[in-house]
């Protein structure tokens, strides 16, 4: 379980960018291209190391008028799977 006060960020060498040729967003890491869906893009844009996980979840819940509990589940699942691949630092 990721702590509420964790400040997730993309480590150096991991880049979130738009892939205009294929009309999608991708996360680029060493030898990896991960397709990122529009919701995940919004989450990852907030992972700059300055915001806590609690702030990221609250901000997204308010912006998308969604239940904070559900948003929290999605955000934690995404970040945990990327951390396993060393594509996010917590």
Q: Return residues touching another protein (CB under 8 A).
A: 11-15, 17, 19, 21-22, 26, 28-31, 33, 83-86
CB of 14 to another protein, least distance (A): 8
Q: Enumerate residues 6+ apart whose C-beta is below 8 A from 8.
A: 2, 47, 49, 53, 56, 79, 88, 89, 90
Q: Which is nearer to another protein, 9 or 58 (CB)?
A: 9
CB of 12 to another protein, least distance (A): 5
Q: Which is nearer to another protein, 8 or 60 (CB)?
A: 8
Asked if 9 and 47 count as a contact pair (C-beta separation under 8 A), the reply is yes
CB of 30 to another protein, least distance (A): 5
Q: Which is nearer to another protein, 66 or 81 (CB)?
A: 81
- One DSSP character per residue, 60-78 reads HHHHTT--HHHHHHHHHHH
């Amino acid at each position: 379980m990721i702590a509420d006060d964790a400040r997730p960020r993309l480590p150096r060498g991991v880049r979130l960018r738009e892939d205009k040729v294929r009309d999608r967003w991708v996360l680029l890491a060493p030898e990896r291209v991960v397709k990122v869906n529009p919701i995940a893009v919004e989450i990852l844009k907030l992972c700059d190391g300055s915001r806590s996980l609690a702030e990221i979840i609250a901000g997204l819940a308010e912006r998308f008028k969604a239940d904070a509990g559900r948003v929290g589940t999605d955000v934690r699942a995404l970040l945990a799977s990327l951390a396993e691949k060393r594509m996010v630092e917590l």
